[in-house]
Amino acid sequence: MITILIANSKGGCGKSTLSINLAVALALAGQDVMLADADRQKSSLAWAKRRPKTAKSIAVADWTKGPGDVPKRITRLIIDGPAGLRKDGFETLVAEADLIVMPVLPSSFDQDASTAFLEKLDSLKSIRKNRKGVAIVGNRMRDRTRAAERLERFLAGLGHAVVARLRDSQAYGEAAAQGLSIFEIKGIRAQLRDDWKPLIDYIEHGVL
């Protein structure tokens, strides 16, 4: 089993969006996926409740009070991480993970929060000792805007791999409202799905 923790202390940067879409993408690729919601807002759990019966089923678990059991059949565990860093709870989740995926928004305010979060993450023993991977994902990117350029420079300076850049699209909200992912709704641009390929390749074929 590969465990992926989606984390950034900042709310609204796309943790739940990444968790949901990644869960479905990996399930459609043949993995047996469980989505564990560790955030008190419980966005992933609410999404799962809205999920149509006809859609590919994704196992979900409430981890808001700490890690729970994972059935043996599960091959990919995705943890939708909490906003904020309650000390012990966060370290426990990091310890569970093989890979940490961190969404970052182009705004400078978010970048300051992300730097602080990465410093905290890098200071954790499990990251230092096992050299656990941290994959950065630029989220809500709009091409050729100044904010995007700033983000690219900022990401390059962080010292972690920037594995994917996801563009800003209403389709994310529209899909989530229906309990779906962007991989399941019709009439969206192929580019939007292509944005995910580097991240999926990194998880499925990268050095873990």
Residue 107 in contact with ligand ADP, rule: CB under 6 A: no
Beta 99-104 vs 2-6: how paired, if at all? Answer: parallel
Q: Considering only CA atoms, which of 37, 46, 27, 30 is closest in space to residue 6? A: 37
Q: Smaller CB distance to ligand ADP: residue 84 or 159?
A: 84
Which secondary structure element, helix H or strand E, spans residue 154, and what is its range? helix 146-156
* Site map 102..121 versus Mg ion, x via CB under 5 A: --------------------
Report how far residue 14's alpha carbon sits from residue 169's, in angstroms, rounded to the nearest whole number: 12
Residue 115 in contact with ligand ADP, rule: CB under 6 A: no
* Site map 76..95 versus ligand ADP, x via CB under 6 A: -------x------------
Residue 16 in contact with ligand ADP, rule: CB under 6 A: yes
Q: Smaller CB distance to ligand ADP: residue 1 or 85?
A: 85
| Rg of the chain (C-alpha set) | 16
Judged by CB under 5 A, how many residues of this single chain contact Mg ion?
4
One of 172, 183, 196, 202 touching ligand ADP (CB under 6 A):
172
In 171-202, which positions are buried (b, 16+ CB within 10 angstroms) versus exposed (e)?
Answer: bbeebbeebbbbbbeeebeeebbebbebbbeb
Task: List the beta bridge partners of residue 141.
Answer: 167
Q: Considering only CA atoms, which of 199, 203, 184, 192 is closest in space to residue 54? A: 184
Residue 30 in contact with ligand ADP, rule: CB under 6 A: no
Residue 176 in contact with ligand ADP, rule: CB under 6 A: yes
Q: Considering only CA atoms, which of 136, 143, 140, 139 is closest in space to residue 163? A: 136
Q: Considering only CA atoms, which of 31, 57, 26, 63 is closest in space to residue 45? A: 63
Q: What is the DSSP letter of 39?
A: S
Q: Smaller CB distance to ligand ADP: residue 17 or 111?
A: 17
Judged by CB under 6 A, how many residues of this single chain contact ligand ADP?
17
Residue 21 in contact with Mg ion, rule: CB under 5 A: no
One of 22, 163, 166, 203 touching ligand ADP (CB under 6 A):
166
Q: Could you list the residues that contact ligand ADP (CB under 6 A)?
A: 11-17, 43, 83, 139-140, 166, 168-169, 172-173, 176
Q: Could you list the residues that contact Mg ion (CB under 5 A)?
A: 15-16, 39, 43
